[in-house]
Chains A and B, each alone.
Chain A
Amino acid sequence: MSAALLIFFVLAGLAVLGAVALILQSHPIHSALSLILVMLSLAGLYLLMGAEFVAAVQIIVYGGAVMVLFVFVIMLLNAGEEERTNFSKLATFAGVPLALALGGVIAAAIARSSGHLPAPAANGALTPTRELSKLLFSEFVYPFELTSFLILVAIIGAIVLAQREN
């Protein structure tokens, strides 16, 4: 087993472990910490694939900004243990198997179509950030400008929603 494969399995195991812990924990702050584990291991996987800029953005934006926002809101609302309500029978007997089946079907479909995918061309080589920025500011410049508008709308929306009405 090569070193890259070993690193992949360690990081993939950590990601799945974090996702399972997210479901099993009953306190929201524990779920948030599990999600941070998932995001950090995904950043490691991006680095393993050679997407260095995406890995950095993943840690800064997801692991940093978004999760801090989540933790702040959990503390602000003083969220306690999740209260147990009686599940509807339909959710227990149909919902959970269906959700598991969805993941299984997608994974099986991918596993079966192994022949159609080209092998990773430049595995281990880093994607130059210069190439990424060139693409971002030439071919995708209109979507890029639209995202700045989206963020402006989100800022105004968040302020309007969170202010006290009187």
Chain B
Amino acid sequence: MVPTNYYLILSAILFGLGVLAFVFKRNIITIFMAIELMLNAVNLAFVAFSQALGKTDGEVFVLFVIVVAAAEAAVGLGIIILTARNRRSLNVERVDLLKL
């Protein structure tokens, strides 16, 4: 028997590490992976709550989150390929067209 809180704390730790990777990394692909890590952390919390409350609704939501994440990966990686082709670099500091 694993208490539900353990899962939730692990989910919070993974989410915090995802935020850290998001602000720390300079490679646009790695930043994208940090977003996937945060989505995974949220999925873990969903499944933990679903098991704790004895309802299956949370698992259905996880399936939706996975679908949205897959769609987001397809479109996001398309944008990354386009950016890399135009800028000749994967560094986000080089993508500064909107900067004053």
Known contacts A77-B90, A136-B60, A154-B71; decide if A70 and B29 are in contact (CB<8 Å): yes
Task: List the A side residues contacting B63 at CB < 8 Å.
Answer: 54, 57, 136
Known contacts A54-B47, A62-B40; decide if A16 and B77 are in contact (CB<8 Å): no
Contact of A102 among B3, B19, B21, B50 (CB under 8 A): B19
Q: Mark A85-110, 1 if CB is under 8 A from B, else 0.
A: 10000010001100110111011001
Q: Is the CB of A147 within 8 A of B68?
A: yes
Q: Is the CB of B60 within 8 A of A69?
A: no
Q: Is the CB of B10 within 8 A of A12?
A: yes
Known contacts A62-B66, A66-B70, A77-B84; decide if A120 and B4 are in contact (CB<8 Å): yes
Known contacts A22-B34, A51-B50; decide if A70 and B16 are in contact (CB<8 Å): no
Q: Is the CB of A110 within 8 A of B52?
A: no
Q: Mark B61-73, 1 if CB is under 8 A from A, else 0.
A: 0111011111111
Task: List the B side residues contacting A85 at CB < 8 Å.
Answer: 26, 91, 93
Q: Mark A1-27, 1 if CB is under 8 A from B, else 0.
A: 010110010001001100110110000
Task: List the A side residues contacting B5 at CB < 8 Å.
Answer: 110-111, 114, 117
Q: Is the CB of A162 within 8 A of B78?
A: yes
Task: List the A side residues contacting B66 at CB < 8 Å.
Answer: 57-58, 61-62
Q: Is the CB of B75 within 8 A of A154?
A: yes
Known contacts A22-B30, A82-B26, A99-B19; decide if A147 and B67 are in contact (CB<8 Å): yes
Q: Which of A132-151 contact B (CB under 8 A)?
A: 132, 135-136, 139-140, 143, 147, 150-151
Q: Mark B31-67, 1 if CB is under 8 A from A, else 0.
A: 0111011001001100110111110110110111011
Q: Which of A42-100 contact B (CB under 8 A)?
A: 42, 45-46, 48-51, 53-54, 57-58, 61-62, 65-66, 69-70, 73-74, 76-77, 79, 82-85, 91, 95-96, 99-100
Query: How many chain A residues have a CB neighbour from B under 8 Å?
Result: 83
Known contacts A51-B47, A54-B63; decide if A158 and B74 are in contact (CB<8 Å): yes
Task: List the A side residues contacting B84 at CB < 8 Å.
Answer: 77
Q: Is the CB of A42 within 8 A of B29?
A: no
| B-to-A contact residues, CB < 8 Å | 1-10, 12-27, 29-30, 32-34, 36-37, 40, 43-44, 47-48, 50-54, 56-57, 59-60, 62-64, 66-75, 77-82, 84, 90-91, 93
